[in-house]
Amino acid sequence: MKITYSKENINSFGGINFADHIVSNSSLFETINQELGQRGVKATYSYSDLVRSYFLLTLCGGECAEDITENLRKELGQVTGFNVCSADTLLRMQKELSTQKKTYVSNTGIEHDFNVNTKMNKLMVRLLVESKQLNTNNKDYIFDYDNQFIPTNKYDSKRSYKKADGYFPGIATIGNHPVYIENRNGNSNVKYKQDQTLERAYSTLKQFGIKPKFSRMDCGSFDKTVIPVVEANSEFFFIRAQRCTSLYNKIKEVDTWEDVEIGFKKYQVASIQYAPFGWDKTYRYVISREKTQDGQGDLYTGDAFKYRAIMTNETHMTDLDVILFYNARGESERVFDEMNNDFLWKKMPFSFLEQNTVFLIMMAICRNMFHFLTDYISKKVEFIKPNFRLKKFIYRFIVVPSKWIKRGRQHILKLFTAKKYHILLE
């Protein structure tokens, strides 16, 4: 095997030029500066440079701020009109955007750390609206909320019931796009002050003319303080109900069950009217049950069935449709997998909750911009699909040898591939 060397200035990630060009032309970076404001007269870099840096960093497979200067400075330096920031600058700008956390003490004496960053959340929604990923004329949006535990050993992270230290942010999504993120420490129960978190989430959306028609949540949102908030801010809601003796006494009275098949499994379903929390007002509860594999009787009902209940104020859908609609929220939970594994949530850079909140929201913005990018490119070329994950997109689009050459007073990007990238500039 013979080896030869060349000193030609060839870059490995030629596709990054097109990715940056598409997003820059959408004016999203200008919007970031408008929403977050200017850093100061002497500041060399703007807040749009911060988001742009992390966006390009992740598109090149980088995993931390240090990668942008240690491993990717040459590759990112090829992008027209972009000055590569140092890792220290990127981290310093995130600290500037952080807000002070609040510590609440519960009736049991437990301290709960919360961090709300209104400015960053408003930016996230505004970018979705301006990139037309959210449409203010759409009246059928589905609002999904859940808390995602992120294990991490930071200076102020606390022990969770999951037996690990970390943070437990509350995350709202619409159409698989994160629209609101509020950080809390790992020891905080998901129900603790969740009504206030949801009020802020709905309020942020309302500022941009977005009111969801549907809201879906798991049993962590089944709380007497949460239900009124959700009902007031969406037309219909679907919340997994928690088990209690009075509910199962009501279920025992059901004598007519419908046989259905859900995900290749046999179930029986029925609806009842039930007033939770000792209220006078009743709601529809869609009950599903399946036989236990071991035939062991249930503690509450005494029969060999496993029961689940969905509380809703919707009255026209069939029982099966309600269950299928609620189960579809599993699609939104895939966002957590994407954020953790593609957009660096597993590798938070700071030691403190409030600074890591900025990082979580910023990377969610980068994720939304990535989906804007893949959707745009997939309409132009055949070798990219809108549902590509980050790694696949990098291999199929970003990784292409390239070289900038000067000819006739023009700078020309030479690509060493047969793929028709030039279509993206037409």
Among candidate residues 264, 2, 236, the one with its CA nearest the CA of residue 142: 236
One domain, residues 94 and 20: yes
Whether 222 is covered by a domain: the verdict is: no
Domain closes at, from 318, 336, 356:
318
User: What is the spatial distance between Cα 237 and Cα 349, in angstroms, rounded to a whole number?
Assistant: 37
Whether 190 is covered by a domain: the verdict is: no
State residue 420's pLDDT score. Answer: 94
Among candidate residues 369, 333, 351, 403, the one with its CA nearest the CA of residue 57: 369
Among candidate residues 102, 145, 134, the one with its CA nearest the CA of residue 206: 134
User: What is the spatial distance between Cα 70 and Cα 60, in angstroms, rounded to a whole number?
Assistant: 13
Place of tokens 């997939």: 378
Residue 196 contacts by C-beta under 8 Å, 6 or more apart in sequence? none
State residue 263's pLDDT score. Answer: 85
Count of residues making up the chain:
426
Residues β-bridged to residue 270:
287
Among candidate residues 360, 362, 331, 390, the one with its CA nearest the CA of residue 152: 360
State residue 301's pLDDT score. Answer: 66
Contact 269, 287 (CB under 8 A): yes
Whether 344 is covered by a domain: the verdict is: no
Whether 60 is covered by a domain: the verdict is: yes
State the total domains in the chain: 2
Strand arrangement of the beta sheet that strand 265-274 belongs to: 102-105, 111-115, 177-184, 170-174, 142-147, 214-217, 236-240, 305-312, 283-291, 265-274, 258-262
Provide the domain limits for residue 75: 16-98+381-425
Contact 199, 229 (CB under 8 A): yes
User: What is the spatial distance between Cα 175 and Cα 132, in angstroms, rounded to a whole number?
Assistant: 12
Place of tokens 């203010």: 136
Helices (H) and strands (E) in the chain, counts: 14, 16
**Backbone angle region of 41, left / alpha / beta, with phi > 0 → left and psi within -120 to 50 → alpha:** alpha
User: What is the spatial distance between Cα 68 and Cα 85, in angstroms, rounded to a whole number?
Assistant: 8
State residue 295's pLDDT score. Answer: 66
Domain closes at, from 279, 299, 318:
318
State residue 424's pLDDT score. Answer: 93
Query: Which pTM was predicted?
Result: 0.94
| Two tokens, residue 378 | 């997939």
Report the chain (426 residues): mean pLDDT per 10 consecutive residues: 86 95 95 92 90 96 92 91 91 96 91 96 97 93 96 93 93 95 95 96 97 95 96 97 88 91 91 94 94 71 84 96 93 88 95 97 97 96 95 96 87 93 90
Which pairs with CB-CB distance under 8 Å and at least 24 residues apart come from 127-131? 127/28, 127/31, 127/32, 127/365, 127/368, 127/369, 128/177, 128/179, 128/368, 129/208, 129/210, 130/26, 130/27, 130/28, 130/31, 131/26, 131/28, 131/368, 131/369, 131/372
End-to-end CA distance of the chain: 43
Whether 139 is covered by a domain: the verdict is: no
243 SS3 class: coil
Among candidate residues 50, 70, 68, 69, the one with its CA nearest the CA of residue 59: 68
Whether 165 is covered by a domain: the verdict is: no
Whether 288 is covered by a domain: the verdict is: yes
Whether 290 is covered by a domain: the verdict is: yes
Domain closes at, from 300, 318, 336:
318
